[in-house]
Amino acid sequence: PGTRCDISALSASCSSDRVSNRQRWLIHVACVCAGHNASRDVVTLVKSILFHRRNPLHFHFITDAVANQILSSLFQSWMVPSVQVSFYDADELKSEVSWIPNKHYSGIYGLMKLTLTKALPSDLTKVIVLDTDITFATDIAELWAIFRKFTDKQVIGLVENQSDWYLGNLWKNHKPWPALGRGFNTGVILLYLERLRRIGWEQMWRLTAERELMSMLSTSLADQDIFNAFIKQNPVLVHQLPCFWNVQLSDHTRSEQCYTEVSDLKVIHWNSPKKLRVKNKHVEFFRNLYLTFLEYDGNLLRRELFGCPSQATSESLQGALEELDEDDQCYDFRRERITVHRVHLYFLQYEYTPAGDDTDVTLVAQLSMDRLQMLEAICKHWEGPISLSLYMSDAEAQQFLRYAQASEVLKNRKNVGYHIVYKEGQFYPVNLVRNVALRNANTPYVFLADVDFLPMYGLYDYLRKSVVQLDMANTKKALVVPAFETLRYRLSFPKSKAELLSMLDMGTLYTFRYHVWTKGHAPTNYAKWRTATTPYKVEWEADFEPYVVVKRDCPEYDQRFVGFGWNKVSHIMELDAQEYDLMVLPNAFMIHMPHAPSFDISKFRSSPGYRYCLQTLKEEFHQDLSRKYGAAALKYLTAQRNI
């Protein structure tokens, strides 16, 4: 049951006794996780577990399609040693619990912990079950060790509920589900799966739920109500955990009685809808602990355990690393190409309904923290879907999240996919970041742009019409959107081509990079564009790097190019080698807005070594292109010799 993503099965070089040791010390953790927000929350939980752990771990995620896509991509790119991850389809479990009316905000997913004996592998004997709003302050192995304290009859380990909910005295006519005393909280559960199956758990919880629903009509606290009603009938089956294993931070709880010093804490549970704004005399300490893991650099958690390299590291990366020559002057550039960056897809809520006519176009771009201010303007200029990759540290990703949640413009746009590529290494892996945005576009066509350009108003609709007009479905074309620039931070944006031409004549606008890099856009033939009324074909020339609309299955960007230089040029060369026709659109334009120069362009200008390595990579790219495309690529070698 479930699909397994073995992030780090031990390599063959590890001795068999070490492998058996690993299995002996393996700790299993299960979470129900659905949607974009829960997928973000679970990463903070996982970080807190990984930070303290000394044991191999196996995470079991019951997910919807969204969380599966996000978390499988994240763990595969995270490559944490001695961690396995398995996914189980929540849709297949819905029928088990959909008959239960539930008022809790978690909806149907809040009931799925009841199904774990069925959902998880039949040979799995024990598992720790966690809500996504949990933070660990100690090694999870201490919690796992409590299984050894269970009596022969005990099957469930829980912490007492720290609010008065089940006492029924919170307000007049408050009638909670039956519970033993204060009841138990199900944010942290030790499930002895083997014993639960033996006593017929599935049938027992169903009978309990059916009986209580006759009078209660629905659950208020999802699975927790049913667990408590079951325990009330079968108190001998529960093992009560010390309350520091689930310190529940709601406003009216007895959580402060769980510890003498905050250093006694083991697990913090943000189970109030207020989350970080709860009332507690130690809330600042709790908040800081949570924020520490929220912004913690996940790359630091890739450290090896047991001295055994993970299979992913040993087989692919190790081989690639061994091929590199550390004495090579361009070693750092080549090392960057094989660096595996963590990727968190769809960091924010994303909704997209495909257009019915197969002409839809996604604007694809990438950015770092210093370009965030462009996002609102782009959203105002482009109403279609957008796929953005953001190259950021963990802390910067949280700053971006706060920025996006505070922006009325960004909050109201659900068709923007934000994908975080986490920082690592000394170069900006610009083409890798572009490729993440390109791969996650969901439309037949993509507009490959840069985030510091504003598209003309109405460009989205114009491009969709051009896709039909130029029969892009049946031909190989790259539609060129002419690029212009302004040196003014405040620009009255032209509303038409005629207005743009007037501004061009007045010197308010310029053709893009005409004064520093004419070759990059000269083949667009701006003189012809001024009077053109129909699309016209242009030929590739050396160093041409226009912004284009192509089919989504176009070649990806070459990831050897990092930092500044040749990252787009190489992509246009490959499009040309694949015999795409370059067609300039007569009524399309985009305008580059001014910004401070990037760190990488400064390095390029100041470092002869940087320029030497870029030239070396260009030559190697030419050779690879010739091998791949044969005669079609010979002109690039000629062009290179003439430069």
Q: Where are the alpha helices (DSSP H) in 350-393?
A: 374-381
Decide: 97 and 115 in contact? Cβ < 8 Å.
yes
Instruction: Categorize the per-residue pLDDT at 505 as very low, low, confident or very high, splitting at 50, 70 and 90.
Output: very high
Name the least confident of 192-206, 260-274, 398-412, 517-531.
260-274
Instruction: Please give the structure tokens belonging to residue 79.
Output: 């490559």
Q: What number is the average pLDDT over the span 187-210?
A: 97
pLDDT confidence of residue 142: 97
pLDDT confidence of residue 566: 80
Beta carbons within 8 Å of 499's beta carbon, 6+ residues apart: none
d(CA 381, CA 350): 19
pLDDT confidence of residue 642: 54
Neighbour-count burial for 485-522, b at 16+ CB within 10 Å, e otherwise: bbeeeebebbeebeebbebbeeeebbbbbeeeeeebbb
pLDDT confidence of residue 166: 85
Q: Which residues pair with 324 in a beta bridge?
A: none
Residue 643 has pLDDT above 60, yes or no: no
Amino acid occupying residue 44: T
pLDDT confidence of residue 271: 72
Per-residue pLDDT tens for 480-500? 999 999 987 778 899 999 999
CA dihedral 297, 47, 339, 574 (to 10 degrees): -100
Torsions phi, psi for 354 (to 5 deg): -60, 140
d(CA 462, CA 482): 14
Short-list 414, 294, 281, CA closest to 348: 414
* pTM: predicted TM-score of the whole model, two decimal places: 0.90
Instruction: Please give the structure tokens belonging to residue 602.
Output: 């400064």
Instruction: Categorize the per-residue pLDDT at 564 as very low, low, confident or very high, splitting at 50, 70 and 90.
Output: confident
- In this structure, what DSSP letter does residue 295 have? S
Short-list 457, 441, 436, CA closest to 377: 457
d(CA 283, CA 522): 60
d(CA 219, CA 201): 19
Per-residue pLDDT tens for 36-56? 999 999 999 999 999 999 999
**Where are the strands (E) in 271-360, listed by range?**
343-344
Residue with tokens 């390109």: 438
Class of domain 343-641: alpha beta
Instruction: Please give the structure tokens belonging to residue 620.
Output: 């190697």
Amino acid occupying residue 74: L
pLDDT confidence of residue 278: 57
d(CA 8, CA 310): 4
Instruction: Categorize the per-residue pLDDT at 120 as very low, low, confident or very high, splitting at 50, 70 and 90.
Output: very high
Decide: 252 and 167 in contact? Cβ < 8 Å.
no
pLDDT confidence of residue 12: 38
Residues in the chain: 643
**What's the 3-state SS for 503-551?**
HHHHCCCEECCCCCCHHHCHHHCHHHHHHCCCCEEECCCCCCCCEEEEE
Short-list 263, 424, 404, 411, CA closest to 339: 424
Name the least confident of 155-169, 258-272, 329-343, 439-453.
258-272
Decide: 452 and 374 in contact? Cβ < 8 Å.
yes
Short-list 340, 299, 434, CA closest to 77: 340
List, edge to edge, every strand of the sheet that includes 453-455: 453-455, 590-592, 483-485, 510-511
More confident position, 324 or 375: 375
d(CA 368, CA 451): 10
Alpha carbon 382 to chain centroid distance?
23
Q: Where are the alpha helices (DSSP H) in 4-115?
A: 16-25, 35-52, 65-78, 94-97
Torsions phi, psi for 155 (to 5 deg): -125, -15
Cβ neighbours around 355 below 10 Å, total: 14
Instruction: Categorize the per-residue pLDDT at 6 as very low, low, confident or very high, splitting at 50, 70 and 90.
Output: very low
Residue extents of the structural domains in the chain: 27-301, 343-641
Residue with tokens 């690039």: 636
Share of residues in the chain with pLDDT > 70 (%): 86
Pairing between strand 547-551 and 445-448?
Answer: antiparallel
Instruction: Please give the structure tokens belonging to residue 364.
Output: 């694809």
Rounded to 10 deg, the angle between the 430-439 and 567-577 helix axes is 50
Residue 310 has pLDDT above 50, yes or no: no
d(CA 631, CA 610): 31
27-301 and 343-641, same CATH topology: yes
Instruction: Categorize the per-residue pLDDT at 73 as very low, low, confident or very high, splitting at 50, 70 and 90.
Output: very high
Short-list 592, 358, 346, 640, CA closest to 484: 592
Q: What secondary structure does DSSP assign to 391-430, as a single string?
A: EE-HHHHHHHHHHHHH-HHHHT--SEEEEEEE--SSS--H
Pairing between strand 477-481 and 547-551?
Answer: antiparallel
pLDDT confidence of residue 640: 60
Cβ neighbours around 324 below 10 Å, total: 14
d(CA 129, CA 223): 12
Short-list 517, 580, 577, CA closest to 548: 580
Cβ neighbours around 9 below 10 Å, total: 15
Pairing between strand 483-485 and 581-584?
Answer: unpaired
Q: What number is the average pLDDT over the span 544-569?
A: 92
Class of domain 27-301: alpha beta
d(CA 138, CA 431): 39
Amino acid occupying residue 326: E
Question: What is the rounded average pLDDT for all residues in the chain?
Answer: 88
